[in-house]
Amino acid sequence: MSFENTLIGAPKSTDRELEGCSEGFRDRVRRFGMRKMLDGSHFGGEFSDWEKQRRDGATLISKPGTILDFGCANGFLLACYQEWSGVDLEAFGVDSDEAAVNAARELFDDAAKDHFFSPSQNDYEKIPKRFDFAFWNVWDNAEFNESRNRMILDELLSRTKGGRTILGFYHPDPAVNARKLAWLPEHGYTISETKTSLNGHIFAAIDVPLDVSSTPST
Ligand SMILES: C[S@@+](CC[C@H](N)C(=O)[O-])C[C@H]1O[C@@H](n2cnc3c(N)ncnc32)[C@H](O)[C@@H]1O
């Protein structure tokens, strides 16, 4: 048997990486290319690394509904949460990078193209006022005691009344993630559930009562 023949039928690396994923998800990734998906989400590693670092966040989603990713990049995390959560999620995203928002529109079906928003397109006011879930990856160096970041958190909570806001702390130093997490209950935010990845990333869920009138002010 020639060397070439031994390669016939060998799965492509993307196919191998996506073993166990649904056909719809595989098709979507094949259509755009795995590298493009990961790069478009600012992730330099392979899909297996992405999964190790991101999948735990999906365990905090246990019912169907709408989900907003604040800082959605090309939407790949939303597509993965649709795949990993095991429930039906209607994806929405916001990103300050207009090219990323356009990429996210490409990734989702026609029906969902108007679910992605960027400030440069002047369409922030079109973002729905309520979601079942909001996700924010709390940009690596963001501190909640900066008023702008506190404002983002409070805005996400006010848009998830009766639902859940999930925060993803991706700082490479697990101690920094733990410190940011600890800040929340110290300032009146009640954490409902957390999940820590093997690499020290922390996902924290805040459930928001339906009738909450204001967010903590301490
Ligand atoms: C690392 S990506 C996160 C992608 C995905 N949500 C995840 O968790 O893997 C962070 C994204 O946040 C966006 N971003 C940063 N500052 C922002 C802001 N003030 N408003 C909206 N998006 C912002 C960036 O453009 C980038 O696409």
Q: CATH number of the domain that 171 lies in?
A: 3.40.50.150
Rounded distance from Cα 178 to ligand 1 centre (Å): 21
47 within a domain of the structure (yes/no):
no
Q: Are 65 and 163 in contact (CB under 8 A)?
A: yes
Rounded distance from Cα 64 to ligand 1 centre (Å): 24
Domain enclosing residue 86, as ranges = 56-207
Compute the Cα dihedral for 99, 61, 54, 169 and give only its sign. Answer: positive
Number of domains in the chain: 1
| Residue 5 confidence (pLDDT) above 60 | no
SS3 200: coil
8 within a domain of the structure (yes/no):
no
Predicted pLDDT at 142: 87
116 within a domain of the structure (yes/no):
yes
Predicted pLDDT at 12: 58
How far apart (Å, rounded) are the C-alpha atoms in residues 47 and 136?
Answer: 20
The residue ranking higher by pLDDT, 37 or 109, is 37
| Residue 10 confidence (pLDDT) above 50 | no
Residue from 139, 140, 141, 201 whose mutation best tests the ligand 1 pocket (most atoms within 8 A of CB)? 139
Predicted pLDDT at 217: 53
pTM of the entire structure? 0.91
Q: Residue 44's Cα: distance from chain center in Å? A: 16
How far apart (Å, rounded) are the C-alpha atoms in residues 38 and 49?
Answer: 10
